[in-house]
Amino acid sequence: MSENPTACLLVIGNEVLSGRTQDANLNYVAKRLGELGIALREARVIPDVPAVIIGTVNEIRARFDHVFTTGGIGPTHDDITSECISAAFGVPWEIHQEAFAKMNAAYKTGDFNAARQRMATMPRGATLIETTASIAPGFSIGNVHVLAGVPRIMQAQFEAVAATLQGGLPIIMRAVHGKGVLEGAIAAGLSAIQDRYKTLDIGSYPYYRPAGGGVAIVAKGTDAPAAEAAIREVAALMQELGGSPVPGEPPA
Amino acid sequence: MSENPTACLLVIGNEVLSGRTQDANLNYVAKRLGELGIALREARVIPDVPAVIIGTVNEIRARFDHVFTTGGIGPTHDDITSECISAAFGVPWEIHQEAFAKMNAAYKTGDFNAARQRMATMPRGATLIETTASIAPGFSIGNVHVLAGVPRIMQAQFEAVAATLQGGLPIIMRAVHGKGVLEGAIAAGLSAIQDRYKTLDIGSYPYYRPAGGGVAIVAKGTDAPAAEAAIREVAALMQELGGSPVPGEPPA
């Protein structure tokens, strides 16, 4: 996977750190980036604090091919992502003429007030991310893609960006699970399989269900035949240990 | 809230970054830390890569009063948190005699194999986090608390640590929501309220429901009377704008 582009997700919002809101964007972005062949290498949740946003954006945009941010681009005082991105890039935060014209046309006369005009205020040089999911667009600047926090809008904006990105080989996952199989019993054999399939990430995940638990083994990588071969070896290993391997992830 | 201790959560696991697993620990830790008066300032999700784990742990343990890690302390080859914490602290990774003795007693003869003995191998100086939720303990070293990834076990271990921590004033939240109220309409008045309550974080969160959306306003801080007064002002503002404010968060 080392040749695939890399990405980092930055979730901006006090509400996730306070526990008020359960983030739903990471899982969506993670799955979709995998399908696009872009490796999500890190995700961070940070508060609505300018110095933290600016510092974090500058650190991670240098380290990853793509940065996606979610949250903080609405009209209220706690929506400060856009001006912080301007500060991070050292460019003026100013009315984006195209965004302003489109939003002005979309709102009823008198409704495009100062608060909403802030949503048309962006770092100089920003490219709009337009969707039918919201009147206010997201935007990209450099390798940073600035998306809404509301999942429905975020997903539409993510897909609009995704259509413009050069991905790599899709990152696929193959799995097998064994009811009653214990991690501690399978560990040594599993480690030997991982050693033979160095291009894969093989993960071991115990699961617990009312009807009984077990372990799920997942092989992840860009080489589907290798992942399938590795999972066949894991299944054989489970069988050797007296387990009954079943292809795929355990049912929820 | 500035006098409350601070914390950072480090979620260690490829499975969250691949989208295979939806993290459930952040929300639990966020809520509980708030109740304990410890401010969760950041959360990160990182992969099972030693250099990343070691570097991140050393960065964040210097910046926050407490670091909680979840994941990567099982018996399989992809469980590398414990040895990485040793490397981060620059101490030997060695058998913890007390953990070894207890685990040896808990497993049936012959079952305490090499893989499981790795779970009794810890940074020198680690203090055990013991619970009835699992045979293998978590551990603390310095200000870093190393917990399991499985939510049920993580929660038990978190509570065992929490009982030993000096918290601050509980961080409380008060909310009001207004059906049909739009963020863009309330923004200016809300900003003025935030300016008058500088010790609070006032957040604005639009919501969408089949029966109609609106906006929820949440005041967060350690001063409950101030939060209640601020929320009363928000309710009055909603009413002025023709909305019908309802105390609390919108129903799910």
- Taking only the tens place, the pLDDT of each residue in B149-178 is 999 999 999 999 999 999 999 999 999 999
Residues 6+ apart with CB under 8 A from B210: none
> What CATH code is assigned to A172-247?
3.30.70.260
- Taking only the tens place, the pLDDT of each residue in B37-67 is 999 999 999 999 999 999 999 999 999 999 9
Residues 6+ apart with CB under 8 A from A59: none
Quote the minimal CA–CA distance from B6 to chain A in Å: 12
Quote the minimal CA–CA distance from B249 to chain A in Å: 10
What chain B residue is nearest to A20 in terms of C-alpha separation? B31
Q: A208, B19: Cβ pair inside 8 Å? A: no
For B87, list phi and psi in degrees, rounded to 5.
-65, -40
Ordered DSSP codes for A16-38: HHTTSS---HHHHHHHHHHHHT-
How far apart CA B143 and CA B123 sit, in angstroms, is 13
- Taking only the tens place, the pLDDT of each residue in A15-57 is 999 999 999 999 999 999 999 999 999 999 999 999 999 999 9
pLDDT at B211 over 90: no
What are the chain B neighbours of A15 within 8 Å (beta carbons)? 203, 205, 218
pLDDT at B252 over 90: no
Going by pLDDT thresholds of 50, 70 and 90, the confidence category of residue B13 is very high
Looking at residue A2, its pLDDT comes to: 52
Domains A6-162 and A172-247 share a fold: no
Question: Mean pLDDT score of chain B, rounded to an integer?
Answer: 96
What are the chain A neighbours of B152 within 8 Å (beta carbons)? 208
CATH fold of the domain at B6-162: Molybdenum Cofactor Biosythetic Enzyme; Chain A (3.40.980)
pLDDT at B2 over 90: no
Domain ranges of chain B: 6-162, 172-247
Q: What letter does residue B96 receive in the DSSP assignment?
A: -
For B200, list phi and psi in degrees, rounded to 5.
-105, 155
Query: In chain A, which residues have pLDDT < 50?
Result: 1
Q: A191, B77: Cβ pair inside 8 Å? A: yes
Choose among A6, A54, A13, A25: nearest CA to A154. A25
Q: A201, B171: Cβ pair inside 8 Å? A: no
Q: A74, B183: Cβ pair inside 8 Å? A: yes
**pLDDT above 90: percentage of residues in chain B:** 94
Looking at residue A1, its pLDDT comes to: 43
Looking at residue B210, its pLDDT comes to: 86
Quote the minimal CA–CA distance from A111 to chain B in Å: 8
- Count of CB pairs separated by less than 8 Å, A with B: 187
pLDDT at B131 over 60: yes
What are the chain B neighbours of A28 within 8 Å (beta carbons)? 19
Cα-to-chain-centroid distance, residue B163? 15
SS3 A95: strand
Task: Retrieve residue A226's tokens.
Answer: 């290798």
Q: A77, B48: Cβ pair inside 8 Å? A: no
SS3 B74: coil
pLDDT at B1 over 80: no
Q: B78, A203: Cβ pair inside 8 Å? A: yes
For A45, list phi and psi in degrees, rounded to 5.
-115, 120
Choose among A124, A54, A127: nearest CA to A91. A124
How far apart CA B200 and CA A64 sit, in angstroms, is 34
Ordered DSSP codes for A61-82: HHHSSEEEEES--SSSTT--HH
- Taking only the tens place, the pLDDT of each residue in B65-116 is 999 999 999 999 999 999 999 999 999 999 999 999 999 999 998 999 999 9
